[in-house]
Chain A
Amino acid sequence: RKEVEQDPGPFNVPEGATVAFNCTYSNSASQSFFWYRQDCRKEPKLLMSVYSSGNEDGRFTAQLNRASQYISLLIRDSKLSDSATYLCVVNGDNFNKFYFGSGTKLNVKP
């Protein structure tokens, strides 16, 4: 079983739509959770960390559900510039090891 699993998509949505991604992780001892964004085989860049209480940054909201072992990312009012691949990242019980999902591709269309 993979440590982190994501729906690969693609998610094709119109501008202004709300879209949500989920990511499940297998290690209940994981403590750190992140969403990264990756544009067309460029380097990943941090979008947001995910905290137990949930957190919001502008149009982006991240949530953690420890009981069901998943994290989610909600994007409101999608922009063309949001088109990218979104990577879910979780650390292992060795906190220095990181596991990446294979990414969910988002295409925002005019």
Chain B
Amino acid sequence: EAQVTQNPRYLITVTGKKLTVTCSQNMNHEYMSWYRQDPGLGLRQIYYSMNVEVTDKGDVPEGYKVSRKEKRNFPLILESPSPNQTSLYFCASSVSQGGGYEQYFGPGTRLTVT
């Protein structure tokens, strides 16, 4: 089954404790992206990756890091989480860069930073 998976689905952590949210897709997609969703603000793009070892900033990259060492995986790293990073996070993948393709989303990770 074609899918994007994220782990963990729910996470409660404390300020400053480094964490990683994993994202994996089994569709051999080149393009992957991370978004956060906050009430009233919609989804905002954090980082995206056009292919292995190629990443770039989205609209709200501050406080986040990513890496793309393999095509299927695109982890999101919060080196020192803060309460303003409490949000619902979605990973997405798409067959290609260039903007014209459907993005497939993972089920979301609900993160709370206290």
CB within 8 Å: A-B pair count = 59
Contact status B40-A102, CB under 8 Å? yes
Task: Please tell me if A1 contacts chain B, counting CB pairs below 8 Å.
Answer: no
Is the CB–CB distance between B99 and A31 below 8 Å? Answer: yes
Closest chain A residue to B58, Cβ basis: A97
By secondary structure, the B interface counts as: strand
The answer, yes or no, to whether B108 is at the interface (CB within 8 Å) is yes
Note all chain B residues with C-beta closer than 8 A to A43: 90, 105-108
Closest Cβ of chain A to B76, distance in Å, is 15
Q: Does B44 contact A (CB under 8 A)?
A: yes
Question: Which stretch in A9-17, A44-52, A61-69, A71-79 binds the other chain?
Answer: A44-52
A102-B59 contact, Cβ under 8 Å, with A32-B99, A44-B105: no
Interchain CB contact under 8 A, B45 and A44: no
A8 to B42, CA, bound (A): 10
Measured in the bound complex, the distance between the Cα atoms of B29 and A62 in whole Å is: 27
What separation, in Å, do the CA atoms of A103 and B100 have in the docked complex?
Answer: 20
Q: What's the nearest-Cβ distance from chain A to residue B1, in Å?
A: 15
From known contacts A42-B107, A43-B105, infer whether A100 and B99 are also in contact, taking CB-CB under 8 Å. no
Instruction: Give me 12 other A-B pairs in contact (C-beta within 8 A), A95-B98, A98-B45, A100-B42 excluded.
Output: A31-B100, A41-B108, A43-B105, A43-B108, A44-B103, A44-B105, A46-B103, A49-B100, A91-B99, A95-B99, A98-B33, A98-B99
The 8 A-B residue pairs with the shortest CB-CB distance, nearest first, are: A95-B99, A43-B105, A102-B42, A91-B99, A100-B43, A32-B99, A100-B42, A46-B102
A sample of 17 cross-chain residue pairs with beta-carbon separation below 8 angstroms, ordered by A number, consists of A4-B42, A31-B99, A41-B37, A43-B106, A49-B100, A49-B102, A87-B42, A87-B43, A95-B99, A96-B50, A97-B48, A97-B59, A98-B33, A100-B43, A100-B44, A102-B41, A103-B42
